[in-house]
Each structure stands twice: as structure tokens, then as C-alpha cells.
Amino acid sequence: MKGFDAVTVDEIVAAAGVSRRTFFRYFASKEDVVVQFLADMGSGIRAELAARPIEEQPSVALRHAVWVSVASCTDHADKALRVVQLILRIPALRARFVERQAQWRDDLAAELARRLELDPDTDLYPQLAAGIALTAFDAVLLDAVGSRSQAPNRKAGVVHATSPR
């Protein structure tokens, strides 16, 4: 397994899908592109959750918010796949991903607590629900990287598993 230091800038630039010149115009380092990708993805999930109707069940709102992010990755499948493969292959990037997901979970939990008028410091439901949704998200990413499957029914089934039956 390669460490992050062994990954070339060319590999990162290829994963980003831009020229070297463009890459260095927007990113100071090779790690920055991945960190920005993760930050944007987390912000998008929270924004989608915040935009859902307030009366919608939390499980439905979370499922939709996560699915929109998954769908945006499948819209750019080759680029997203390359970035996700780098994240999962390189321990330093995987650690950043886990770190970002902890922030996503906290942000989603805060949004759920706001929607449900719960105290996020005393009620575990928002943290648990956000954690379940992100576990489903991870399962979809791992499935896509492992099988390169673009079968929407399989992915929908994983995300659907986050809702109560």
C-alpha cells in the first residue's frame, strides 16, 4: 500500500481531472484537492438536509440528503471513483476522510436536532441517525470502488436500509 508521500502529483491531478497548471492555481498541495472534495461533499449533504421539508420524517430527509450526494458522484463517476480510490488506498487520506466524516456527523446531528427541537448535548437520536446515514454512504462508496457497480437499485437498497421498516 502506498503512503501519501509516494503518490505523485500527476496521480492527484489525474484524479482531479484537471491540468497541472489548473491544479496548482486552485490547490496549494496534493492533499488540498482531496480535503476540498470532502469538505464540499459534507456541506452538500448538510445543505440538502436543511432544505428538506421540516415535517418530513428524519429518516426520509437523511436518506434524500445522502442520496443526492451519491447521485452527484455517479454523475461524475470516473472522476469520483479515482478520488475515492485514492482516499481509500492511502492511509493519510483515509484518516482525513474519517476526520471529515466525524464533522459531517456532528453537522448533520446539529441540523436534525434543530429540525426536531432536541438538545444535541443530551439527546442521542440526532447523532445516531446521522451516524447510520453516513454508514450507508460509506457502504455505497465501498461498493462502487470494489465492484465499479453503477447499479442504482443496489445503491438505493443500501441507502434505503437507513430508514425504519
CA 107 to chain centroid: 13
pLDDT digits (tens, 9 = 90+) for 55-71: 999 999 999 998 887 77
- Each residue's pLDDT, cut to its tens digit, for the chain (165 residues) gives 444 444 666 776 776 677 778 777 776 666 676 777 777 788 889 999 999 999 999 999 999 998 887 777 666 667 777 777 778 777 878 888 888 889 999 999 999 999 999 998 899 999 999 999 989 888 877 776 665 444 445 545 544 544 443
d(CA 46, CA 159): 16
Q: In this predicted structure, what is the pLDDT of residue 79?
A: 72
Instruction: Report the distance separating Cα 93 and Cα 86, nearest Å.
Output: 7
pLDDT at position 15 is: 67
Cβ neighbours of residue 132 under 8 Å, at least 6 residues apart? 62, 162
Chain centroid to CA 134: 8
Mark residue 49 as left, alpha or beta (left: phi above 0; alpha: psi -120 to 50; beta: remaining).
Answer: alpha
Element (H, E) at 90: none
Please tell me the predicted confidence (pLDDT) of residue 155. Answer: 46
pLDDT tens-digit readout, 117-139: 999 889 999 999 999 998 988 88
**What CA–CA distance (Å, rounded) separates 108 from 62?**
9
Looking at the chain, how many residues does it have? 165
For residues 32 and 38, give the distance between their C-alpha atoms in angstroms, rounded to a whole number.
Answer: 10
What whole-number distance in Å separates Cα of residue 112 and Cα of residue 130? 8
